[in-house]
């Protein structure tokens, strides 16, 4: 090939590669959606360290969202692979991820982790026990961990620690959320923690650290307070 032709071809190839890269990196996300999972209290976004309207100071707030399934007109269009997301309010980016599908009108997921995951040995990523969300004295994931101070808590210095987990009946603590939603670019999953805090038994259940009826009750209150909406 003559030298002058090679000079011409190289920029063309660079252009083509750039175009190809952009088609892959730029266009695909536009076809999908982006999840934004976060927590709120009475409509106000909360992060770790915030003082909630109830006077509660939230020091730790982590929860699992898992097993995402997307539907269109009742038909499943996508079941997310390795669908485990540990949302940690200390790191807001943990609640953000892309979904490579569009054209859905319904979304389904778990608050927590399913029982099979809890009995199937060691996992990595967000399920790695180094994340501090796996009990060591009794097998099972802590599906929701909320720690902090409440003026109502009879715990030491008003402390509370709600470690909500349990995968075996009658104290299962995963909660299935199913919600219609338009598949526009941004899907918000908002966990309002205050309805649960308003019904927490601050006299005797300010510490919940094992699978129990109280853990199941509090998880259900949280699950019912999840709102899914598109932006």
Partner 1 sequence: MLSKFILSGITAFLFLSGATSDPITLPVPAGWPAPQYDNPRNPLTESGIALGRRLFYEPLLSRDSTVSCSNCHLSFTAFTHVDHALSHGINDRIGTRNSPALMNLAWSRSFMWDGAVNHLDMQALAPISSPVEMDFNIQGVTERLKASEDYRSMFEKAFGSGEITGERILKALAQFELTLVSANSRYDRIKAGKDTFTAQEKNGYELFQKHCNSCHTEPLFTNYQFENNGLKPDTILNDRGRAGISGNPADDLKFKVPTLRNIEISHPYMHDGRFKRLKEVLNHYTDGIEDSPTLSPLLKDKIQLGSREKTDLTAFLLTLTDRDFLFNPDFRPPAPK
Q: Which of 6, 121, 156, 203 binds partner 1 (CB under 8 A)?
A: 121
Half-sphere exposure of 170 (CA within 13 A, CB side): 3
147 binds partner 1 (CB under 8 A): no
Smallest distance from partner 1 to CB 159, Å: 19
The only residue of 138, 178, 182, 199 in contact with partner 1, by rule CB under 8 A: 138
Candidate ranges 33-41, 67-75, 118-126, 218-226; the one touching partner 1 (CB under 8 A): 118-126
Residues 186, 197: Cα–Cα separation, whole Å: 28
- In whole angstroms, the minimum distance from the beta carbon of 82 to partner 1 comes to 11
Q: Which is nearest to 62 in space by CA: 210, 213, 191, 226? A: 191
Helical H runs in 110-161?
115-118
Q: Which of residues 166-185 bind partner 1 (CB under 8 A)?
A: none
Report CA 151 to chain centroid distance, whole Å.
Answer: 28
Hey, CA dihedral for 175, 181, 184, 190, is it positive or negative?
Answer: negative
Whose CA is closest to 63, among 225, 186, 212?
Answer: 225
> Applying CB under 8 A, does 82 fall inside the site for partner 1?
no
Residue with Cβ nearer partner 1 (211 or 223): 211
CB of 118 to partner 1, least distance (A): 7
Nearer to partner 1, 75 or 81 (CB): 81
Task: Give the integer Cα–Cα distance in Å for 100 and 63.
Answer: 23
* 49 near partner 1, rule: CB under 8 A: no
Q: According to the binding rule CB under 8 A, does residue 129 interact with partner 1?
A: yes
Tokens of 229: 């909406």
Give the footprint of partner 1 on this chain (CB under 8 A): 118-124, 127-130, 132, 134, 136-140, 212
């Amino acid at each position: 090939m003559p030298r002058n032709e090679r000079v011409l071809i190289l920029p063309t190839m660079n252009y083509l590669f750039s175009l190809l890269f952009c088609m892959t990196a730029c266009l695909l996300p536009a076809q999908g959606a982006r999840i934004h999972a976060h927590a709120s209290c009475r409509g106000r976004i909360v992060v770790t360290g915030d003082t909630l309207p109830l006077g509660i100071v939230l020091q730790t707030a982590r929860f699992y969202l898992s097993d995402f399934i997307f539907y269109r007109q009742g038909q499943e269009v996508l079941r997310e692979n390795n669908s485990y997301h540990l949302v940690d309010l200390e790191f807001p980016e943990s609640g953000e991820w892309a979904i490579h599908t569009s054209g859905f009108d319904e979304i389904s997921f778990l608050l927590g982790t399913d029982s099979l995951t809890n009995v199937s040995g060691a996992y990595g990523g967000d399920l790695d026990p180094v994340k501090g969300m796996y009990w060591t004295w009794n097998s099972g994931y802590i599906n929701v961990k909320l720690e902090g101070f409440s003026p109502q808590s009879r715990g030491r210095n008003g402390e509370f620690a709600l470690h909500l987990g349990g995968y075996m009946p009658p104290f299962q603590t995963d909660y299935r959320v199913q919600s219609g939603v338009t598949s526009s670019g941004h899907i918000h999953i908002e966990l309002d923690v205050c309805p649960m805090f308003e019904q927490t038994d601050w006299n005797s259940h300010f510490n919940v650290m094992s699978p129990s009826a109280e853990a199941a009750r509090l998880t259900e209150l949280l699950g019912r307070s999840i709102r899914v909406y598109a932006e």
